[in-house]
Chain A
Amino acid sequence: MNPPSSPSPDAQPEETKLRSHVYDGIQEYDHRLPNWWLFTMYGAIVFAVVYWFAHQVARLAPSDGEQVDAAMAQIQSAKMASSIDVNNDPGFWQMSRNPVFIEAGRATFNSTCASCHTAALTGAIGPNLVDRLWIHGGTPKEIYKTVSDGVPAKGMPAWGPVLGAKKVAETVAYILSYHKESEPIEVQVSWAPPGPAAK
């Protein structure tokens, strides 16, 4: 058994006392726990509580899967936006299923088009865009042409020069998001805005 040879000077007097029990010659001090160690432990516990609350109780962040889906949609939209082909119908349908494209298109539509077509796309001054009836053609490339070149005779401005190809494509994708690729296209001759009674 070896008594302590040199108690460290910074230790508290009562702590340098050895515990009375000796195990096979091994003695034990009873130093208090270092503060930084305790703070590490308390800090980790507090973090665990807050982190659990944020993610599991309050659900402040979207789930991992949702985050990846959103990021992949972003990447997808960036790829499509960099290679817009206004004659590519399948390409438009793909855009119309991409949330990033739809969101951008919705913003443009609401600020630019909703005044005539309404925010619900059901039509007022301009025709309804959610039914299956189309006046100037209902395939994506035809819709793109209508938006971009306009129909000046009927009061539809040419938006291509104003918005640029990307924003027009987004808007078309947004309109297409109300439709399915497989649905039939019916021809409509002209649009008569519904009167007050019809509403």
Chain B
Amino acid sequence: MTGQKITIEYNDRIVRQFMLAAILWSVVAMLAGVFIASQLNFWQLNFQTSWLTFSRLRPLHTNAAIFAFVGNMMFAGIYYSTQRLAKARLASDFLSWLHFWGWQLIIVAAAITLPLGLTRGKEYAELIWPIDIAVATIWVVFAVNFFWTLARRHEKSLYVALWFYIATIITVAMLYIVNHLSVPTSLLHSYPVFGGVQDALVQWWYGHNAVAFFLTTPILGLMYYFLPKAAERPVYSYRLSVIHFWSLVFVYIWAGPHHLLNTALPNWLQLLGMTFSLMLWAPSWGGMLNGLLTLRGAWGRLRTDPVIKFFAAGVTFYGMATFEGPLLAIKSVNAVGHYTDWIIGHVHGGTLGWNGFMAAGMFYWLAPRLWNKPLYSSSLANLHFWIGLVGILLYVSAMWASGIAQGLMLSATTEGGTLLTYPNFLDTLNSIRPLMAMRIAGGALYLTGFGLLTYNLWRTIRGARPVNGRIEIYVEPPDADGKFGLGATFFNAPVIFSALGFVMACVWMFASGWLNILGLFGAILCVLLAVTHYQARAHHWGEWYDRLLLNTLPFTVLTFLAVAAGGLIQIIPMLTIDRRLQTEDRIAPLYTPLELAGRDIYVREGCYVCHSQMIRTLVPDVMRYGDYSRLGESIWDYPFQWGSKRTGPDLAREGGKYPNVWHYRHFEDPRAISPGSNMPAFPWLFKNDTGLGALPTKIRVQRLLGVPFPAWTPGMIDVLAKEQARQISTDLRTAGVYVSPDKEVVALIAYIQKLGKSDPAALPAAAK
């Protein structure tokens, strides 16, 4: 050793903070989950209170689970492992501090705004724009802190865990920023810059990859650090890490459209969503294999060590969820499973089974090391494991049975296939009620497990003195040989073959005629050449990759290119094409001012949480709800409200189906109209006045976004809105209901009655 010996003290304080925050928020998120699951069974549990209503609390539950629980847990694990893998203290104590308190402040802001109905109306992207900016800023703080630490590292080579962290940081930034692009209409409200199908595509590009790059890649990174540490075994296969990392980050992005199968989304995107989801199966299982096979030789400790138990079960759940995902992405399976509880079961297998168990394992492993005191009770941790496992199994099996049962009932026909067996949606809902109750029990057991964890760790920590890790290292002089320039990054066999193969495959997929043939043969040729070259010069590939691992920036750039490709190919064509060419054969008339106000109430109340507005190209959907939805019918929708779950029926063609008074009574007391419904009552809609004052700004912003509203003056907008409200109020009066035209329920009825009204599409020549 030539260098100078120095001692590094890690910043483990920030790890402790994030870990404790994660435990606190885990209990909050799961408590919210159990509460809203109970509301689905007992509608009375909103206590006639707006901010306790399911549709407002469900976003709170999902955001808390994803960003508060898994977020804080991820930051704790990443900060702990990165310092050790880089052999460097976190670059800035201030940035770490800012990251922690900034993130907690965001969570508190979310917990206040979401129940108040302040929302953007897009799943996992509900937070209003000022909070969005804060999230993006704090994420950049995290990124700077992380990459700055890497820049100061003493361990030159990047371990596989760090690859996953890098992919997480850059991809989440990209997804979050693009999907949150909005134009504010006030301090608390904004419209997304994309509308209709564009918004749908961007949303699920984000939504799917939030699962991928917020709930999967960081946890895989944590697995690669904490699992071999806890098992005290070497990682099973380095080359499997390489292959599954790159294939995972490249393929994942493309699979977003599988959330929109059988909808009005153009078919080529549906095909990509389905086929890439199937291709994602192997890369995902690569991670599971590397985790499980690393445990070979440590299986004996499964009996005694709760940490190993949690990790083994967590990785197994990961394998289960990533098998179920591709299965659900097959169009015909999706036809049954989509919009049902099966999807709910699927995501909980991921978050509770995979993320939750990995988190628990990590906390039980970390706490004794961060406070230098043995775990208070190993048997209590074992009890947590068994209670949690029974809980999650109960949960997912209830949801499987419930989802498949309801899916089959909804598509069951009779009389030679000419009639629906269960024309009343409520028949299907009420047949799964016992399973929905079983879900509460499963969730409550899982929550109890985390209660045990909280108690166990509190007893461990109490009275213990926090300790920070230290390491003594020899600083070696910087080595200029390994540095990559542009040339070394891009001009080498693996990158050139991948890029060329990708271009050729795109030519094959999107060109026609002889170019199509050229693309196919070009792609095949690229693969053959790459294989031949690899067989002849394998050590070159290996050496290049070893050297790449010494270079953070080139590694990050290549990762970014791999994750950006899918989004570019799918989204750019949809954004650049004149939207009016894509209306199919129908186009929705513009919203009247009152309908727009009503629509914003619909978004505020979170109706999309339980009601879709998308009749799929499936016979049972068309038989139940009417002709399948066309793109032009949601073209003016900012944000789109196609929905992802049908706890209630689809509303795409609800307009005109029932008289105004039907809706009035239904909002007042759903069971008065639909016996057996589990929809809560919305009494505040009858008390609050519609905020017509905001309409001129809202309409101005929509004009800016390309909605061809006439150049109304604020006065005209007011007159138009009031006139329509007066008509509805008069109509209600003839039906025996007295309501002031100013009330929100009137605006909402105006919007509901507009749903599904459309004109034959004007030809493009007339459109632009």
Contact A30 B239 (CB under 8 A): yes
Contact B238 A29 (CB under 8 A): yes
**Residues in A whose Cβ lies below 8 Å from that of B240:** 31, 33
Asked if B235 CB lies within 8 Å of chain A CBs, one says yes
Contact A2 B233 (CB under 8 A): yes
Asked if A51 CB lies within 8 Å of chain B CBs, one says yes
**Residues in A whose Cβ lies below 8 Å from that of B87:** 24
Asked if A157 CB lies within 8 Å of chain B CBs, one says no
Segment of A71-79, A95-103, A106-114 engaged in the interface with chain B: A71-79
A-B contact pairs, 8 of them (CB 8 A): A4-B234, A27-B234, A31-B240, A33-B243, A45-B279, A48-B278, A64-B617, A72-B623
Asked if A182 CB lies within 8 Å of chain B CBs, one says no
Asked if A155 CB lies within 8 Å of chain B CBs, one says no
Contact B229 A25 (CB under 8 A): yes
Contact B236 A31 (CB under 8 A): yes
Report the count of interface residues on B (CB-CB < 8 A): 51
Q: How far is the CA of A165 from the CA of B539 in the complex (A)?
A: 80
Type the 1/0 row for A18-35, where 1 means its CB is closer than 8 Å to any CB of B.
110101111111111110
Select which of A40, A52, A63, A71 is within 8 A of B509 by beta carbon: A52
Report the count of interface residues on A (CB-CB < 8 A): 44
**Residues in B whose Cβ lies below 8 Å from that of A78:** 416-418
B546: nearest chain-A partner, CB-CB = A21
Chain B residues packing against A (C-beta within 8 Å): 81, 84-85, 87, 155, 157, 159, 225, 228-229, 232-241, 243, 247, 262, 267-268, 271, 274-276, 278-279, 281-283, 285-286, 289, 293, 296-297, 416-418, 509, 516, 617-619, 622-623, 628
Q: How far is the CA of A65 from the CA of B262 in the complex (A)?
A: 9
B277: nearest chain-A partner, CB-CB = A44
Further contacts, 16 of them, CB under 8 A, given A24-B85, A28-B234, A41-B283 = A4-B233, A8-B296, A18-B234, A24-B81, A26-B159, A30-B238, A37-B286, A41-B282, A44-B279, A44-B281, A51-B274, A56-B268, A57-B516, A68-B622, A72-B622, A79-B418
The 9 closest A-B pairs by CB, nearest first: A41-B282, A48-B275, A64-B617, A27-B234, A31-B237, A23-B159, A28-B238, A24-B84, A44-B279
Contact B237 A47 (CB under 8 A): no
Contact A56 B159 (CB under 8 A): no
Contact B271 A56 (CB under 8 A): yes
Contact A48 B289 (CB under 8 A): no
A24: nearest chain-B partner, CB-CB = B84
Contact A75 B236 (CB under 8 A): no
Contact A75 B619 (CB under 8 A): yes
Q: From known contacts A32-B237, A44-B282, A55-B271, infer whether A26 and B622 are also in contact, taking CB-CB under 8 Å.
A: no
Q: How far is the CA of A30 from the CA of B240 in the complex (A)?
A: 8
Asked if A5 CB lies within 8 Å of chain B CBs, one says yes
**Residues in B whose Cβ lies below 8 Å from that of A55:** 267, 271
Chain A residues packing against B (C-beta within 8 Å): 2, 4-6, 8, 18-19, 21, 23-34, 37-38, 40-41, 44-45, 47-48, 51-52, 55-57, 63-65, 67-68, 71-72, 75, 78-79, 82
Interface centre among A2, A21, A65, A68 (most CB of B within 10 A): A68
**Residues in B whose Cβ lies below 8 Å from that of A23:** 85, 155, 157, 159
Contact B234 A29 (CB under 8 A): yes
Q: How far is the CA of A56 from the CA of B286 in the complex (A)?
A: 30
A72: nearest chain-B partner, CB-CB = B622
A8: nearest chain-B partner, CB-CB = B296
Q: How far is the CA of A45 from the CA of B619 in the complex (A)?
A: 30
Contact B617 A68 (CB under 8 A): yes
Select which of B229, B236, B279 is within 8 A of A29 by beta carbon: B236
Contact B622 A33 (CB under 8 A): no
Q: How far is the CA of A64 from the CA of B274 in the complex (A)?
A: 15
A67: nearest chain-B partner, CB-CB = B617
Select which of A34, A63, A71, A82 is within 8 A of B289 by beta carbon: A34
Interface centre among A5, A38, A64 (most CB of B within 10 A): A64
Quote the shortest CB–CB distance from A114 to chain B (angstroms): 31
Quote the shortest CB–CB distance from B419 to chain A (angstroms): 9
Interface centre among B234, B281, B283, B416 (most CB of A within 10 A): B234
Q: How far is the CA of A67 from the CA of B103 in the complex (A)?
A: 49
Quote the shortest CB–CB distance from B711 to chain A (angstroms): 37
Contact A26 B235 (CB under 8 A): yes
Quote the shortest CB–CB distance from B307 to chain A (angstroms): 16
**Residues in A whose Cβ lies below 8 Å from that of B283:** 41
**Residues in B whose Cβ lies below 8 Å from that of A28:** 234-235, 237-238, 241
Quote the shortest CB–CB distance from B280 to chain A (angstroms): 8
B157: nearest chain-A partner, CB-CB = A21
Q: From known contacts A23-B157, A26-B228, A51-B275, infer whether A40 and B289 are also in contact, taking CB-CB under 8 Å.
A: no
B585: nearest chain-A partner, CB-CB = A65
Select which of B233, B235, B417 is within 8 A of A75 by beta carbon: B417
Q: How far is the CA of A21 from the CA of B579 in the complex (A)?
A: 54
Q: How far is the CA of A19 from the CA of B235 in the complex (A)?
A: 10
**Residues in B whose Cβ lies below 8 Å from that of A18:** 234
B298: nearest chain-A partner, CB-CB = A5
Contact A37 B619 (CB under 8 A): no
Q: How far is the CA of A86 from the CA of B237 in the complex (A)?
A: 76
Contact B297 A68 (CB under 8 A): no
**Residues in A whose Cβ lies below 8 Å from that of B225:** 24, 26
B283: nearest chain-A partner, CB-CB = A41
Quote the shortest CB–CB distance from A198 to chain B (angstroms): 41
Q: How far is the CA of A186 from the CA of B417 in the complex (A)?
A: 41
A1: nearest chain-B partner, CB-CB = B232
Contact B282 A19 (CB under 8 A): no
Q: How far is the CA of A18 from the CA of B229 in the complex (A)?
A: 16
Q: How far is the CA of A4 from the CA of B236 in the complex (A)?
A: 11
Select which of A31, A33, A72, A82 is within 8 A of B619 by beta carbon: A72
Q: How far is the CA of A30 from the CA of B279 in the complex (A)?
A: 24
Quote the shortest CB–CB distance from B207 to chain A (angstroms): 22
A51: nearest chain-B partner, CB-CB = B275
**Residues in A whose Cβ lies below 8 Å from that of B235:** 26-29
Quote the shortest CB–CB distance from B289 to chain A (angstroms): 7
Q: How far is the CA of A18 from the CA of B271 in the complex (A)?
A: 42
Quote the shortest CB–CB distance from B336 to chain A (angstroms): 16
**Residues in A whose Cβ lies below 8 Å from that of B416:** 78
Quote the shortest CB–CB distance from B584 to chain A (angstroms): 8
**Residues in B whose Cβ lies below 8 Å from that of A24:** 81, 84-85, 87, 155, 159, 225
**Residues in B whose Cβ lies below 8 Å from that of A40:** 281-282, 285
Q: How far is the CA of A43 from the CA of B274 in the complex (A)?
A: 14
Quote the shortest CB–CB distance from A199 to chain B (angstroms): 40
A31: nearest chain-B partner, CB-CB = B237
